[in-house]
Structure 1
Amino acid sequence: MSTSGGQTHPLHRVAIVGVATTEMARRLDTTSAEISLRAALTALDDAGLTPADVDGVVARWPGPGGTVFQPGSADWAEVFGQPLRWVCDTYPQGVPGALDAAAAVAAGLCEVALVFGGQAGVMGAAGVADYTRPDNEFLACWGSLTAAQFALVAQVYRHRFGPDPEQVAAVAATIRNAGHRNPAAVMAGRGPYTAADVLASPLVTEPFRLLDLCLATEGAAAMVITSIERARDLPRPPVTILGGGAEWHRQQYVNPPRYEEVWPLGADAARRAFGLAGLTPADVDVFGLYDINTYEVIRQFEMLGLCGEGEGAAYLAEVGIGLGGGHPTNTDGGLLSYAHIGWGGPTLKVVEAVRQLRGTAGGGQVPGAEVALVTGAGSGAQYHNVMILGRG
C-alpha cells in the first residue's frame, strides 16, 4: 500500500500480531490491574512473544509521569521485569491506542508495543456505572448521565427525520442477537431479540430504551503491535493498519452536544483514513462500530456516506447488518450484547476485527473478510476515531 508519491506510509509498515480478551461478566472477583495483565500476557502468547520482548506500553500507566491506577505502588515496567523505551497513557485503548503504538513502532521509538486495559471489581450493585455519571461542575449538579448526552442528539434527529421506530429497533436487535449467539458474550443465550422486544423494553432516557443502550461490564482486552518485518517471523498472520484518523471536537460531557456539530462527527477522519488506505467505505467487509446506543450505529453509516442524512434506519433495514447482510456489523455482539469494559471497551472492536481478518471469529465469522473498519466514541462524547485494517 503506497501513497500517491510512491512512498510507503509509515503505518503500512506496522502490523497487529496478537490479540486477546479475558472472560466477560457483569462483575469479576479480581482487580483491574490483574485482569488487564492477564489480557496482556494472553495477547503476547497469541503473538508468539513474551514479556521480555515488550519495550513499549499503551495502558493506564501507574509509573513515573503516569496516572493513578490500581494498585498504585507498582508499574508495568516492574511487572514485565525490564525498563520500557516508550509509554503512552493519553488515550490507552481502541483506535487511538493502536495508532499511537503504530506510530511509535514506525518511528523506531519501540519495537513491540502492547496495548491493553480493562476493569474488574469496580461495578457495584447500582444499575448505573460510576463512569456514566460525569463529575464536573456543569453536569454533576443536574445528574446528566452520558446516555442523556447522546439522547440530546438522537432527539433532534428523530424530530427532524422521523425514522421508523421498528427499523431503528431492528438495529439493536440484530447486534444483540450476535451476542446471543456468541458463547463468550455477557448476553449469550439471552435472546433471540426482535424489534418488538427493543420497543417494549423500559424507557431510560428519551428516545433510548433499555435495549438501545450498551452494557456496563467487567473484563479486559489487549493487542500487540510490531513492524511488518518482525511480524513475518511470528506464528499468526499479521493484520495491517491501512489507515486511521480521529476528530476531537471538544471535551466530552461538559458542554451539551449540538446536533449540527456532532451528527457528522468523524466524516473528515474517515475521509483521511480511507484516502490513506486507498479504499472507500463500500470496500469494507465487516464493521466494528462503537455501538454505545442504537442511534449512534445509524449515525456512523450516514457519516461514512453510505446513505444520506436521515436515511440510515431505512438503508440498514434494506441492506442488512447481520452476518448475511451487506454490512455485517458488530459480529461479536458489540457493546450492546458482548461487553463494555471501561478502559478496554474500545479495544474489543480491534480484537474482533483482527479475528475476522484472520478467519478465526467462530460462529460470527464473515466469509472471506479482507477489510475491516473499527470506530470509537461518537456524537454525545464529541470525539470520534476511525481505523481500517486489512489482511497482511
Structure 2
Amino acid sequence: MSLRDKACISGVGETAYQRGATGTAFELQLEASLKAIADAGLRPREIDGVIPIGIVSGTADDFIDNLGFDDLRFSALIPHGGASPVMALQAAAAAVAAGACNHVLITFGRNVSAAAASGRAGARIHSMPQFHYVTEFEYPIGAIAPAQLYAPMARRHMEIYGTTSEQFGEVAVSCREHALLNDNALMKKPITLDDHRNSRMIADPFRLLDCCLESDGGAAIVVSSADAARDTRHRRVFISGVAEGHPDSPGSITQRPDMTRLGVEKAAQRCFRMAGVTPQDIDFAELYDCFTYVVICQLEALGFCAKGEGGPYVQGGRLRLGGELPTNTHGGLMSQAHVWGLNHIVEAVRQLRGDAGRAQVKDAELGLVTGYGDMGDGAVAILRRG
C-alpha cells in the first residue's frame, strides 16, 4: 500500500527561538504543541496519536498528563537524531492511513542553554546509544563532537571531487539571507563569502560558519488523515511521498567504503517513486543543514545534480529566493534555529499554504524536506499543496 496523499499536515507551531530560555525543554515542547493543535483547529482531546521526537523529549504519558489526551491510540519514539522528524512523518502517515488514529502530534523541544550551564551537554551526547559506534575508531583520537565526526566526510568529498570551502560558504550565505527575512530567526547579521572564509576553523574543513546553531525552542506539527483534515482550519498539505534510509555498514563513518554516501540517497529513490514526481518538479527544498557540506551531499543524493557536482551546483544563487531551487527559506539550522529539523517541516507547510511572508516562493506547489541524523541516517518527504 502506498502512503501517497493518505495523510496531511494540518497544523504547525513554534515557540520563539532564542538562547538562554527560562522554560525547560518539555515546557517549550508543550508550548509548541498547543500552538500546532490550535493551528489545526483542534482541541487537545482530539489528538489520538503522539510521536515525541528523540530520547530527549517527553513520553506519551507526559502528554496525557499535561495536555489531556484522554483517548490516545498510537504512540512511537524515533531516536535517529535530525532524521527523526521526517521519519516521524512516515510513521504518522502510516498510522492514520491504517486507521489506527486520526490526528498525530509530532513534537520536539530543547533547552541547550540550561544543559550547557549545568555541564550536561557533552554527557548527554555520549550517552546516546547510537554514538557507541564511534568509540572504537573516533573517540580514541579525540573526535567526540559532531563537527569532528562529520569533518572526514566533507574532506573526502573535497579530495575526490574538488569541492571547495567557498562552495560551502555559498550554503551558509544563502541560509543567512533567508533568515534576515524571518522574524523568528536567531541570526540577524548579514554575512558574506569573505566572512565565511575568515571565520575560525572548528574541525578541518569546517569553519565556524559551516556549523549549525545551538539554540533553545520547540516545534510541533499535527499529521491528520486526509479525510479528517477536510474540516481543519487551513489548506491541506498532503504527504505525497515519504521514506527513510540508513547508511552503509559499518556504523563508524571513517570505516565505510564510501564516506560520502548517506541514507538519504536510499530514501530519495523510494520517496520520489511514491510521489510520482522527479527532482525537476520540486519548487523548493528544506534540507537538513547541520553542516554546509551535508546540504551539498544531499543535493547529490536527491538527484538535483550528479555525484560530485554539488559544489558547483550551489553557486550562482541557485539556492536563494528567485533561484532554481530556493533552499532553507527560513534560514535553516544554520541561521534560524536548531530543533532537530522539525522547523524545516513547519517552514515547508507555510510555503505550501502561501503563509511564508517575505520568504514566500512564488506559486509553490511541491516542496521537499529532508532529515539527517547520527552517523548518516536519512529521511525524505515530498509535500504537496492541497
TM-score over 0.5 (shorter chain): yes
Take 1:77 and 1:239, find their aligned partners in 2: how far apart are those partners?
27
Equivalent residue number for residue 103 of structure 2: 112
| Secondary structure class of the residue paired with 1:28 | coil
Take 1:43 and 1:245, find their aligned partners in 2: how far apart are those partners?
23
Q: Offset of 1:259 from its aligned partner?
A: 6.2
1:48 equivalent in alignment to 2:46: no
Equivalent residue number for residue 101 of structure 1: 92
Take 2:219 and 2:249, find their aligned partners in 1: how far apart are those partners?
25
Equivalent residue number for residue 274 of structure 2: 276
Letter in 1 for 2:298: Q
Letter in 2 for 1:384: G
| Secondary structure class of the residue paired with 2:289 | coil
Equivalent residue number for residue 152 of structure 1: 152
1:347 equivalent in alignment to 2:342: yes
CA contact (8 A) 1:372 1:390 kept: yes
Q: Offset of 1:248 from its aligned partner?
A: 1.7
Q: 1:162 to 1:268 in 2, by over 3 A?
A: same
CA contact (8 A) 2:253 2:259 kept: no
Q: Offset of 1:29 from its aligned partner?
A: 0.3
Take 1:27 and 1:278, find their aligned partners in 2: how far apart are those partners?
44
Equivalent residue number for residue 210 of structure 2: 212
Q: Offset of 1:242 from its aligned partner?
A: 0.5
CA contact (8 A) 1:129 1:216 kept: no
Alpha-carbon displacement from aligned partner over 1:230-250 (angstroms, at most 9, x marks no partner): 211112111000001111226
Q: Offset of 1:122 from its aligned partner?
A: 3.2
Letter in 2 for 1:351: V
Take 1:245 and 1:133, find their aligned partners in 2: how far apart are those partners?
26
Equivalent residue number for residue 293 of structure 2: 295
Q: Offset of 1:325 from its aligned partner?
A: 0.6
Alpha-carbon displacement from aligned partner over 1:122-179 (angstroms, at most 9, x marks no partner): 3424999537853444455534211111101111111122224323312211112211
Higher helix share: 2
1:89 equivalent in alignment to 2:77: yes
For normalisation by structure 2, the TM-score amounts to: 0.89
| Secondary structure class of the residue paired with 1:225 | strand
1:227 equivalent in alignment to 2:225: yes
Alpha-carbon displacement from aligned partner over 1:62-87 (angstroms, at most 9, x marks no partner): xxxxx6866x8962112232141111
Q: Offset of 1:264 from its aligned partner?
A: 5.0
Q: 1:73 to 1:87 in 2, by over 3 A?
A: closer
Letter in 2 for 1:124: A
Q: 1:249 to 1:376 in 2, by over 3 A?
A: same
Q: 1:42 to 1:172 in 2, by over 3 A?
A: same
Take 1:144 and 1:197, find their aligned partners in 2: how far apart are those partners?
27
CA contact (8 A) 2:250 2:256 kept: no
CA contact (8 A) 2:53 2:106 kept: no
Alpha-carbon displacement from aligned partner over 1:352-379 (angstroms, at most 9, x marks no partner): 000000010111111111000000116x
| Alignment gaps of 5+ in structure 1 | 1-7, 62-66
Alpha-carbon displacement from aligned partner over 1:109-131 (angstroms, at most 9, x marks no partner): 11111111111253424999537
CA contact (8 A) 2:252 2:375 kept: no
Q: 1:130 to 1:181 in 2, by over 3 A?
A: farther
Equivalent residue number for residue 384 of structure 2: 390
Take 1:339 and 1:159, find their aligned partners in 2: how far apart are those partners?
31
Using the aligned pairs only, state the percent identity. 37
Take 1:208 and 1:255, find their aligned partners in 2: how far apart are those partners?
17
CA contact (8 A) 2:57 2:109 kept: no
Q: 1:162 to 1:69 in 2, by over 3 A?
A: closer
Q: 1:60 to 1:53 in 2, by over 3 A?
A: same
Take 1:60 and 1:319, find their aligned partners in 2: how far apart are those partners?
33
Letter in 2 for 1:53: E
CA contact (8 A) 1:133 1:140 kept: no
Which of 17, 28, 53 is the aligned partner of 2:21? 28
